[in-house]
Amino acid sequence: MGNNGSQENNASELKEFFSFRKIPDALSEYPDAKYVIFGVPFDGTSSYRRGSRTAPDAIRFAYRNLESYDVSYGVDFLEVPIADLGDLDESEDVSEVLDQVEHVTRRILSDGKIPILLGGEHSATVGAVRNLKDTLMVIIDAHSDFRESYMGNKYNHACVTKRALGILGPDSIISIGIRSTSKEEYESPQKNQVRFISANEVRKSGIDSVIEEIRSRNASRIYFSIDMDGIDPAYAPGVGTPEPYGLSDVQVRKILNAFSKKIIGMDIVEITPMYDNGNTAMLGAKLIQDFIGSKESKKED
Ligand code: MN
Ligand code: MN
């Protein structure tokens, strides 16, 4: 064996030979970070196209294409304390995954940091929501996700908004981009406890009126959940359950920009790299920068 120095020194020497899967702008370690990214490689309840468990690394890879400076926000991301913790261990057990997400986001939030969860499927969001109170939840989604249970599982990704309602209570969720819902969901007596804004309504009244409506809630804290299928398949083709006639990429960015200062955590879920031409992962990466960039920006918009 000989004297090869301390194990620690060897490890740092070896580090040069490996590429760690991190967002390239994530130069900080956890204790110093303000933004904490982590992946949840889980797609166990997906009903149509599985594969979102590989999305965290697809987003990280796409992010390599992005510049570390954004002139529109005047922000140099290399100067922003961002950490990327990597991915949670893979598991096929949704309850276990939700417990892990709950534990990790609770720690990040209680340390005064901002979690950015990369799915995986939308079901993971419920773990984060368990830590929220007095928080407005804003969801981008093609689906109402309002089933009581689906395929025998109440934590299925088709039940996310219903589970979140059970945690947050009435009048604390706004879900935008809806264009697919079952009769059971549509006729649910609890439906009016969530403000569902359909994609058609966004087209009719315009994104600015949606922003005004969110603003009128006077929320001091917002959790932002982006199910990428809320965005039109033209912009985001690589998702588990695609639906035509969706929101545009720029509309979602506008909502993010309008409320980034109040957003205390967010997730980007449901990207399925196997069905992607690269654009969906790229948009996911860009939305991370748009969130951090607009939150850090000192510019008046
Ligand atoms: Mn969803
Ligand atoms: Mn959806």
Q: What is the pLDDT of residues 240-253, one digit of tens each?
A: 999 999 999 999 99
Shortest-distance ligand to the CA of residue 121: 1
Say which residues have a Cβ less than 8 Å from residue 90's Cβ, sequence separation at least 6: 41, 42, 53
* pLDDT in the model for residue 4: 45
Position 227 pLDDT exceeds 60: yes
Place of tokens 């093609």: 142
Neighbours of ion ligand 2 (CB under 5 A): 141-143, 227, 229
Say which residues have a Cβ less than 8 Å from residue 180's Cβ, sequence separation at least 6: 142, 143, 144, 241, 243
Q: How far is the CA of 122 from the centre of ligand 1 (A)?
A: 5
Peptide bond into 120 cis (omega under 30): yes
Position 70 pLDDT exceeds 90: yes
* pLDDT in the model for residue 13: 67
114: pLDDT confidence band, cut at 50, 70 and 90?
very high
Span 183-201, pLDDT tens digits: 999 999 999 999 999 999 9
Q: Tokens for 35, please give them.
A: 């933004």
Q: Tokens for 83, please give them.
A: 């950490």
Position 144 pLDDT exceeds 80: yes
Shortest-distance ligand to the CA of residue 228: 2
Q: How far is the CA of 227 from the centre of ligand 2 (A)?
A: 6
Position 301 pLDDT exceeds 70: no
Q: How far is the CA of 232 from the centre of ligand 2 (A)?
A: 11
Q: How far is the CA of 7 from the centre of ligand 1 (A)?
A: 45
Tell me the whole-structure pTM to 2 decimals.
0.93
Average pLDDT of span 58-68: 96
Q: How far is the CA of 149 from the centre of ligand 2 (A)?
A: 15
Q: How far is the CA of 156 from the centre of ligand 1 (A)?
A: 10
Span 12-40, pLDDT tens digits: 666 656 556 899 999 999 999 999 999 99
State the chain's maximal CA–CA distance in angstroms.
74
Position 203 pLDDT exceeds 80: yes
47: pLDDT confidence band, cut at 50, 70 and 90?
confident
* pLDDT in the model for residue 179: 98
Of the candidate ranges 13-17, 122-126, 230-234, 262-266, the one whose mean pLDDT is the lowest = 13-17
Which range in 88-97, 136-145, 151-160 is most confidently predicted, on average pLDDT? Answer: 136-145
Shortest-distance ligand to the CA of residue 142: 2
2: pLDDT confidence band, cut at 50, 70 and 90?
very low
Shortest-distance ligand to the CA of residue 120: 1
By DSSP bridging, strand 195-198 and strand 173-178 are parallel
Q: How far is the CA of 263 from the centre of ligand 2 (A)?
A: 21
Say which residues have a Cβ less than 8 Å from residue 277's Cβ, sequence separation at least 6: 237, 238
Position 5 pLDDT exceeds 50: no
Q: How far is the CA of 153 from the centre of ligand 2 (A)?
A: 17
Ordered DSSP codes for the chain: ------HHHHHHHHHTTS-----TT--S-GGG-SEEEEEE---TT-SS---GGGHHHHHHHHHTTS-SEETTTTEEGGGS-EEEEEEPPP-S-HHHHHHHHHHHHHHHHHTT-EEEEEES-GGGHHHHHTT--S-EEEEE-SB----S-BTTBTTSGGGHHHHHHHHH-TT-EEEEEE-B--HHHHT-TTGGGSEEEEHHHHHHH-HHHHHHHHHTT--S-EEEEEEGGGB-TTT---BSS--SS-B-HHHHHHHHHHHGGGEEEEEEE-B-GGG--SHHHHHHHHHHHHHHHHHH--S--
Position 1 pLDDT exceeds 60: no
Q: Over the chain, what is the mean pLDDT?
A: 93
Q: How far is the CA of 143 from the centre of ligand 2 (A)?
A: 4
* pLDDT in the model for residue 299: 83
Q: How far is the CA of 3 from the centre of ligand 1 (A)?
A: 55
